[in-house]
A and B are shown apart, each in its own frame.
Chain A
Amino acid sequence: MTGHRIVTLSNGHPDLGAGGSEVAAKALADAYRDLPGVAESQLVATLDTGRAPTGALSSHAPGEWLWDTGISDWFTLRPAHAAENHATLAAFLARVQPDIVHLHHYARPGLDVIPLIRRVVPDAHIILTLHEYLGICAADGQMVTRGEGRLCTHAAPVICARCFPDRDPGQFWLRREWMLRHFALVDSFVAPSVFLRERYVAWGLSRDRVAVIGNAIAPPAAARAPRRDPDATRFAFFGRLTELKGLEVLLRAVAMLPRLRRREISVEINGTGLDRQPAAFAARIEALAAPLGAQGVLDWAGAYDAAGLSARMGRCDWVLVPSTWWENAPMVIHEAFAHGRPVVCSDIGGMAEMVRDGVDGVYVPVGSARAWADALDRLGGDHATWARLAGGIAPPPAPAEIAAAHLALVAGGR
């Protein structure tokens, strides 16, 4: 059989509750499979069971595998029991003999898989899609300073050591060298946003090695739905309930709205994970949410899955993305646009790149609860603006287009 044999190595599997990069990886692996000129597309998603990883590779669905591995050192992104964990993946690669290995994020697979791929299938074209900033920033790859939560613009050993007082600046120099040595084995990098590419270029990657291709997103289950209730405005938040997603800013903003306005709008919170956040943050969220829920302005809808996403998107008017970190290319914005919903977002980073202020969405100064309150107050009931911005939305490219763009990288030798 001729044609490309592609292995996509993902940070996780969306069926296991993973985030945007995992959703994009699966969508792309599926799209590869349907492309002409592709003989085989396999998805290998890391599985972190929370127990000691075994390295086992188990079938999850046709063409999809779960790889039981885990990172033991998040500073260098290296696994424990590397030899054992890698043996199964090496055997898999040796059997499939891919000519393209697409690595979607390097966090949970770990950096060691890059030389492993190069050793087992030396002629394979390695593509690495970058998600967030973990190589640049050891603070969970968020480029937000620990403690004071300030947005960070670039990495340098002395600067990074301030976030980690127990580490020597030399360790950050070494970390960067370590990352770059591994990245030197990659043939093509893909950044889902220009913003992210520029951060990695400033850090040390060569610009001509990094192509900007958006994340693939599966077509929505339902077509664009019209507004449900012309007399009430429904805003919705989608995502993990972590500190940097800006949920606290949003709830404070809702609490600042005039009482009358709070009767005319509603804010729906879709997402989970609050129970895994720091107790103080969770307590603050619960304290803010309880009275708003009692007043009827806040609707805590909770967890959702891919199958239920279209229904939730269809019942809201605006999608809110109040993140207080840079983001990369948030999947929720793709999904909002796929469902014809304008986006209200923080005015920084990957969000500001994806959303065009006044065309398909609205910017709000990052982290300002007052500004968010003003925006909600202004947009609530403004049907004309909603219609104009909804009309300005360009649907995301089809997954097949995204997959073809990746194969073009291989054909072009980048």
Chain B
Amino acid sequence: MGARLGFRRGTRPVRVGSARVFVECAAMLDDLLVVTGWVSRAGLSVDLCRDGRAIGAAQLRIDRADVRKAMGGGEGFALVARSAARTGMALAAGEARVRVALPPPGPASPAALRTAAPLLVRAIRAEGSAAPSRLPQTLRALPAIPAPSSATMAEGALDAVLVADGAGCGIAFGWVMDAEGELFWIETDGPAPSVLRLGPAFRLVRRDVAAAAMTQEVGAPGFVRFVEGLGPDTRLRLCRLTGRGKRVLNEIARPEILPPGLAAAARRLSSMSLPPGAAAARMARADGALVARIAPSCDEARPPAILRDTTVGEPPAAPDLTVIVSPGPDPAVAAAQIVALASDPEITGRAEVIATICDDGRAVPLAPEIEHLAALWSLPLRVILCGRGGGPLGPARVGAQQARGAVLLFFGAGVVPDRPGWVGDLRAAMDGGAAVPILTGPEGCARATGLPPEWDVPQPARAPAGCLMVGRAAYFAAGGLDAARFGAEGAVADLCARLTARGSAPRVVQAVRLVALGAGRGNSRAEWCAAADAWLMAGGAP
């Protein structure tokens, strides 16, 4: 029996009454003592002793088929205890409290770690931010266990690592499916290897992840983490401590070198939404210094490449109005937008319409569907297919660059008018400056942008995201749509503020209402406040 269980170091099981106890491994992980072994009688309590007293180690009972088979019963165990002393520990088993001397503590073996991993998980969760100081180094030293790719996909991933040129630091984006998050960390290789635990301060709401995972959880599975010591050759790994050991979820071998730094980061962030209040503020506090170092290297993002440029029908030769449609991912909404434009007397035969579509690799491409609808409804339409890049507003900015009309109408994703004639009404109210409609939900209630009230921006700047009519010259003079400050959904409000600052405050046209579609579209006011707070604390200014 014993030989089949593989006794090591010449030790033998110790008899406790009618049962036997065997210690397989004792190891120190920082100031945690981990002891693993087995008992031949299931349910036998075991503890660690020092100076004759039990110290109350956490015990985990482990089903061990090998023990059951060899001993005719029994189970494995693992004990974890915080202990400054690394010697003089003994094992007490059962009521007899027969002491079993521990082998000298040594480095953690893979077998011991696999056995003790669930206890480590508990210990780290219980310790929270006061986790043992050297634990990250220990985590780094853990041997990685293989994981099936499907499991890896379900647990988390590093999406991107943006390195600020010359700043020696950058930002890592990703997601994890564990709301607790303490069990995840990022390891970096390179000149200054490091281990960065993902705490709650770095958590983001990632609706894309939630949607992809088909989960209704409102948790915060996304993260953003500022990382020091990054260079072009730095490798980053996202790891997780599991019940079986350390699992490397994915690795980015070559971070993306981006001149823009903060601007690009802001664009990335604009596709997410920051978590409520305190967490975002903590993130800004924790990494404010790094943000300050990244900021000077900011630059404009590269515009997305134009992959295809086609025209359906015959656009007017000299349009004075250009409508720039940037359809979102929902084909039903995109179709409704095209049909709405085709039914509007202000558009047909008079305005240039440009649909700018980001080729994001979706299974059912949007462009052919939109082109078919335009042909069906006799709407002359130019369709520009853009590559990735430029952030969520990249396609709209491309459309503005390509526009021929003296007046631009940005018709954003997810908004649909409830009647024909709305374009003419906006045009009439614009009076040479800019105009925005009211944005409502399907139920008819107006939606706010949620800009923090203390920012005291002029009233038109509170205009809803999603639609704006503005003179072409004024648009470019004010700097155009930019997601850097408030994300894509706050970009119209942001531009309105800049237009106002230049003396051409947009008019909010109460008579024109567009309906914003999609559950949970946009950020709640609280989320926007939190995001704004975070950027303010990072040195930004409204």
Which residues of A line the B interface, CB within 8 A? 75-76, 82-83, 86, 112, 115-116, 118-119, 157-158, 168-174, 177-178, 181-182, 184
Q: State whether the Cβ of B343 lies closer than 8 Å to any Cβ in chain A.
A: yes
A170→B377 contact, CB < 8 A: no
B442→A157 contact, CB < 8 A: yes
Chain A: minimal CB distance from B446 (Å): 15
What sequence of 0s and 1s flags, for each residue 365-378 of chain B, a beta carbon within 8 Å of any chain A beta carbon? Answer: 00000001000111
B376→A112 contact, CB < 8 A: yes
CA–CA, A157 and B517, complex, Å = 12
What sequence of 0s and 1s flags, for each residue 420-442 of chain B, a beta carbon within 8 Å of any chain A beta carbon? Answer: 10000000000000000000011
A178→B443 contact, CB < 8 A: no
CA–CA, A117 and B83, complex, Å = 83
CA–CA, A156 and B403, complex, Å = 39
Chain A contacts for B376, CB-based, 8 A? 82, 86, 112, 115-116, 119
> A170 with B343: in contact, given A83-B372, A178-B336 (CB under 8 Å)?
no
**Given A119-B378, A174-B515, 7 other A-B contacts at CB below 8 A?**
A75-B332, A169-B442, A170-B517, A174-B332, A174-B517, A178-B336, A184-B343
Chain A: minimal CB distance from B440 (Å): 10
> A169 with B336: in contact, given A112-B376, A184-B343 (CB under 8 Å)?
no
Chain A contacts for B377, CB-based, 8 A? 115, 119
Which of A82, A115, A119, A174 lies in contact with B336, CB distance below 8 A?
A: A174
Which of B343, B420, B443, B518 lies in contact with A157, CB distance below 8 A?
A: B443
Instruction: List, sorted by A's number, 15 A–B pairs whose CB atoms are closer than 8 Å.
Output: A83-B372, A86-B376, A168-B518, A168-B519, A170-B515, A170-B518, A173-B515, A173-B517, A174-B332, A177-B416, A178-B332, A178-B336, A181-B336, A181-B340, A184-B343
Chain B contacts for A158, CB-based, 8 A? 443
Q: State whether the Cβ of B233 lies closer than 8 Å to any Cβ in chain A.
A: no
Chain A contacts for B332, CB-based, 8 A? 75-76, 171, 174, 178
Q: What 3 A-B pairs are tightest by C-beta distance, nearest first?
A: A173-B442, A170-B517, A170-B442
Chain B contacts for A82, CB-based, 8 A? 372, 376
Kindly report which residue of chain B lies nearest to residue A169, judged by CB atoms.
Answer: B442
B517→A171 contact, CB < 8 A: yes
Chain B: minimal CB distance from A353 (Å): 32
CA–CA, A194 and B459, complex, Å = 49
Chain B: minimal CB distance from A77 (Å): 12
Chain A: minimal CB distance from B238 (Å): 33
CA–CA, A177 and B333, complex, Å = 11
Chain B: minimal CB distance from A258 (Å): 54
Residue count of chain B within 8 Å CB distance of chain A = 22
Q: State whether the Cβ of B339 lies closer than 8 Å to any Cβ in chain A.
A: yes
Chain A contacts for B420, CB-based, 8 A? 184
CA–CA, A82 and B418, complex, Å = 26
CA–CA, A334 and B76, complex, Å = 82
Chain B: minimal CB distance from A314 (Å): 49
Chain A contacts for B515, CB-based, 8 A? 170, 173-174
A181→B443 contact, CB < 8 A: no
Kindly report which residue of chain A lies nearest to residue B372, judged by CB atoms.
Answer: A83
Kindly report which residue of chain B lies nearest to residue A113, judged by CB atoms.
Answer: B376
Kindly report which residue of chain B lies nearest to residue A73, judged by CB atoms.
Answer: B332
Chain A contacts for B443, CB-based, 8 A? 157-158, 169
What sequence of 0s and 1s flags, for each residue 352-373 of chain B, a beta carbon within 8 Å of any chain A beta carbon? Answer: 0000000000000000000010
Chain A: minimal CB distance from B328 (Å): 12
B336→A170 contact, CB < 8 A: no
Which of B339, B342, B442 lies in contact with A178, CB distance below 8 A?
A: B339
Chain B contacts for A75, CB-based, 8 A? 332
Most buried by B among A82, A86, A177: A177
Kindly report which residue of chain B lies nearest to residue A119, judged by CB atoms.
Answer: B378
CA–CA, A142 and B517, complex, Å = 26
B518→A181 contact, CB < 8 A: no
Kindly report which residue of chain A lies nearest to residue B444, judged by CB atoms.
Answer: A173
CA–CA, A83 and B372, complex, Å = 7
CA–CA, A172 and B416, complex, Å = 13
Kindly report which residue of chain A lies nearest to residue B377, judged by CB atoms.
Answer: A115
A170→B519 contact, CB < 8 A: yes
Chain B: minimal CB distance from A14 (Å): 29
Chain B contacts for A83, CB-based, 8 A? 372
Kindly report which residue of chain A lies nearest to residue B340, judged by CB atoms.
Answer: A181
A177→B418 contact, CB < 8 A: yes
Kindly report which residue of chain A lies nearest to residue B333, judged by CB atoms.
Answer: A174
Chain B contacts for A172, CB-based, 8 A? 442
CA–CA, A82 and B343, complex, Å = 20
Chain A contacts for B378, CB-based, 8 A? 115, 118-119
What sequence of 0s and 1s flags, for each residue 323-360 of chain B, a beta carbon within 8 Å of any chain A beta carbon? Answer: 00000000011011001101100000000000000000
Chain B contacts for A177, CB-based, 8 A? 336, 340, 416, 418
CA–CA, A177 and B336, complex, Å = 8
Chain B contacts for A173, CB-based, 8 A? 442, 515, 517
Chain B: minimal CB distance from A12 (Å): 23
Chain B contacts for A157, CB-based, 8 A? 442-443
CA–CA, A177 and B420, complex, Å = 11
Chain A contacts for B519, CB-based, 8 A? 168, 170
Kindly report which residue of chain A lies nearest to residue B369, judged by CB atoms.
Answer: A82
Chain A: minimal CB distance from B441 (Å): 7
Chain A contacts for B342, CB-based, 8 A? 115
B517→A181 contact, CB < 8 A: no
Chain B contacts for A171, CB-based, 8 A? 332, 517
B416→A174 contact, CB < 8 A: yes
What sequence of 0s and 1s flags, for each residue 492-524 of chain B, a beta carbon within 8 Å of any chain A beta carbon? Answer: 000000000000000000000001011100000
What sequence of 0s and 1s flags, for each residue 442-478 of chain B, a beta carbon within 8 Å of any chain A beta carbon? Answer: 1100000000000000000000000000000000000
Most buried by B among A168, A169, A181: A181
CA–CA, A118 and B420, complex, Å = 18
Chain B: minimal CB distance from A94 (Å): 15
Chain A: minimal CB distance from B344 (Å): 10
Kindly report which residue of chain A lies nearest to residue B441, judged by CB atoms.
Answer: A170
A181→B442 contact, CB < 8 A: no
Chain A: minimal CB distance from B505 (Å): 31
Kindly report which residue of chain A lies nearest to residue B521, judged by CB atoms.
Answer: A170
Kindly report which residue of chain B lies nearest to residue A112, judged by CB atoms.
Answer: B376
CA–CA, A280 and B47, complex, Å = 61
Chain B: minimal CB distance from A26 (Å): 28
Chain A contacts for B418, CB-based, 8 A? 177
Chain B contacts for A182, CB-based, 8 A? 339
